[in-house]
Amino acid sequence: MARFIKQKFDNATLDSLADFICGDETTKYPQYRSSSYLTRFFNNVGINASHDGSTRKWWVLEMLKQMNDRNLDDLEKVVLRLVDIREYKADMTKLEMATKSMNNILFMENMKIEFSGKDPFIVFVKESKKPIIDNVNNTLPTEEEFLKKDFESNDIAKLGLDSVIELVLKERIKESRQCIAHKAPLASIFMAGSTLEGLLLGIASKYPKEFNQANSSPKDKIGKIKAFQDWTLENFINTANETGFLGLDVKKFSHALRDFRNYVHPFEQAVSGFAPDEHTAKICLQVLNSAISDLIKAVQSRNI
């Protein structure tokens, strides 16, 4: 029996936990875990598993789903290991980051992490006298507020990108809107995601110094900045935010679009059970519109 977790987690909680375990190269999670690191992480928890070379996120998510269905005790061990000081070699800054991130995730299950000495444990929110989330930024818009923003005056010609690329991107934006009108939300999401990546690649290529010198720019194993063609959409979003090309609200919603866009792979969509509707597609298109607006403002400010 699980020590504390006694009922299954929601799929959204599992998805967030998978992101946490995989980590990223930004400041959202304290540790990036490569394929071999993922194997070592689960082995440290006492789970006999070896990453099979597939997409890290979907492999981890499948592992979590199996625990959720068959062994909640293992699932709890994973959660607690992610906020264990030993996982971060006594780095208190990383532990603090990990705890805040975990509490944001466990909030969906009415739980949070507390400590007895160095040892983490889980409590129900109603049993805790402390707030579950500290320093919440209340300035970010809600989903409804975000959808109400008007970006009709956007014109990507103002970005000054290569004329051939500009034409292709304009056609993709047009097609993404047409997909919604013709009840094809999944196609609209894929088109919006690829267009956003194209726009950010174009901006990065125009301002390479700013993107390459950012703390969040991705590096290879020897610490060298990767070539732009090797950047992921996640890399572009985080670095564009750090350099001031994208606002915090756009960064937040852009990551949601990035996650949805990843379901272009049928197997990953089947595993996740993702079935987007028109509302989801409209949010994703609004993310693209908002990103274009931010990029235009950033480019214009640099041209003054």
Residue 292 domain-assigned?
Answer: yes
SS3 helix, strand, coil % of the chain, rounded to 5?
65, 5, 35
**Quick one: 255 and 294 in the same domain?**
yes
**Quick one: 197 and 155 in the same domain?**
yes
Residue 106 domain-assigned?
Answer: yes
**Quick one: 122 and 161 in the same domain?**
no
Cα 38 to Cα 32: distance, rounded to the nearest angstrom: 9
**Quick one: 69 and 171 in the same domain?**
no
- pLDDT for the residue 31: 85
- How is residue 162 written in tokens? 């290569």
**Quick one: 121 and 168 in the same domain?**
no
- What is the number of structural domains in the chain? 2
**Quick one: 16 and 152 in the same domain?**
no
**Quick one: 287 and 166 in the same domain?**
yes
Residue 133 domain-assigned?
Answer: no
* CATH number for 289: 1.20.120
Cα 93 to Cα 110: distance, rounded to the nearest angstrom: 25
**Quick one: 108 and 191 in the same domain?**
no
**Quick one: 161 and 116 in the same domain?**
no
Contacts of 158 (CB under 8 A, 6+ apart): 296, 299, 300
Domain end among 100, 127, 154 = 127
- pLDDT for the residue 222: 86
Q: Helix or strand or coil: residue 273?
A: coil
Residue 138 domain-assigned?
Answer: no
**Quick one: 94 and 172 in the same domain?**
no
**Quick one: 47 and 151 in the same domain?**
no
Long-range CB contacts (within 8 A, 24+) of 8-14:
8/68, 8/69, 8/72, 9/68, 9/75, 9/109, 10/108, 10/109, 11/272, 11/273, 12/108, 13/105, 13/106, 13/108, 13/109, 14/61, 14/64, 14/65, 14/68
Residue 58 domain-assigned?
Answer: yes
Q: Which of 113, 115, 110, 90 is nearest to 20 (CA)?
A: 113
Query: How would you write the pLDDT of the chain (304 residues) with one tens digit per residue?
Result: 346 787 899 988 999 899 999 986 555 788 888 888 999 999 999 999 999 888 889 999 999 999 999 899 999 999 999 999 999 888 888 888 899 889 989 988 889 998 888 889 998 875 444 443 344 344 455 556 666 666 656 789 999 999 999 999 999 999 998 998 899 988 888 888 889 999 999 999 999 999 999 888 898 888 899 999 999 888 898 899 888 898 877 777 776 677 666 666 666 666 666 677 788 788 888 888 889 998 998 898 887 5
The string of pLDDT tens digits covering residues 239-275 is 998 888 988 777 777 766 776 666 666 666 666 666 7
- pLDDT for the residue 134: 41
Residue 263 domain-assigned?
Answer: yes
Please, are residues 112 and 66 in contact by the beta-carbon 8 Å criterion? no
Domain extent, residue 35, equals 11-127
Residue 258 domain-assigned?
Answer: yes
**Surface-to-core class of residue 204, CB atoms within 10 Å of its CB (0-12 exposed, 13-18 middle, 19+ buried):** buried
**Three-state secondary structure along 4-71?**
CCCCCCCHHHHHHHHHHHHCCCCCCCCCCCCHHHHHHHHHHHCCCCCCCCCCHHHHHHHHHHHHHHHC
Residue 207 domain-assigned?
Answer: yes
- pLDDT for the residue 290: 87
**Quick one: 227 and 79 in the same domain?**
no
Please, are residues 245 and 298 in contact by the beta-carbon 8 Å criterion? yes
